[in-house]
Amino acid sequence: MVFDNECLVVMQNKKLYVCDSYDMKEYALNENMYHNVVIKNYQLHKTFYEHEVFHFKLNNEKIKSVIDNMYASYGKLLSTSMNYYKRSNALRALLRMEGVRAQNAEEQKKLEDMFNAQLKAFMTAEGSAVLPLQKGIEFDETQKLSNSGNTSRDVRALVDDIFDFVSMAFLIPKGLLKSDLADVENQTNNFLMFCVAPIAELIEDEINRKFYSKDEYLERTYLKIDTSLIKYVDIVSIAGAFEKLLSSGAHSVNDNLRLIDKEPINEDWAEQHFITKNYEEIQKFLKGGEKDD
């Protein structure tokens, strides 16, 4: 759904499968039809109609555009920047040799083999190294290209750009993508609100309108995706809120346990709702309360 902007799910033998590829014939007033449905390299010869499938459509073309553009453009820029950084910090030297040598391929090959044998260990050594020089040979290290200003921070800047664009496309806070722990609670809330919740609602709507009838939905038989457990909950910090949820009758004991990802209690009283005596009906409060006999 993210990479292709849509996803098709079909049911076979009472099991749901995500399709790898399919051909869709779209109609204005009649049901859409799906042909050549392929699941894990296995092609189904059945034609599916719209009411038989779950067709999730993200309707967010910019996500696919960002992914494609990042691969095409920033991938090349990042590779070029890394190569230039390595070249600019590589050791380069000039080797002066007396005499004149033949320029044919055989002599050049011999000279190249000699350089590799003598200079390779010296040029690539990470620790101390010694280069023996014969008479008539001078070795001078040239100035590195790093003086041009290219550093590893230039490569990091390109990576930061990729994070910025991707976070905007997916509506994910940039700090979460970069594992920045500053203000992580608000970042997580924004991530759930702007990124996770819309996708969960999209999945809910498609499944409910295809899998359940109108009467079943009105009788509260439907799919509901609970995203509350995605976020880590500190039991101590919400102990006061738990007490209020329980004493006001909004939650049962098991409701509170489920909220913190705990196993519910297999007792009838754990599913009951309780309310403290300080709460009374608003009508009684407006009348000044009822007097006890």
* Domain residue ranges of the chain, discontinuous segments joined by +: 6-59, 61-93+137-170, 233-286
- The DSSP symbol for 96 reads E
Query: Scanning the structure block, which residue is given the tokens 């049901």?
Result: 31
Q: CA 163, CA 157: separation in Å to the nearest integer?
A: 10
What tens digit of pLDDT does each residue of 143-183 get?
A: 555 445 556 676 777 778 778 877 887 888 888 888 887 88
Q: Are strands 48-49 and 33-39 parallel, antiparallel or unpaired?
A: antiparallel
The token duo for 174 is 């940039």
User: DSSP secondary structure string, 253-265?
Assistant: HHHHHHHTT-PPP
Q: Is the pLDDT of residue 129 over 80?
A: no
Q: Are 39 and 19 in contact (CB under 8 A)?
A: yes
- Look up the pTM and report it: 0.62
Q: Give the Cα-Cα-Cα angle 268, 272, 277 (nearest 5 degrees).
A: 140
Nearest to 8 by CA among 62, 66, 64, 58: 58
What tens digit of pLDDT does each residue of 44-96 get?
A: 999 999 999 999 998 776 676 767 777 777 677 777 777 776 666 666 677 67
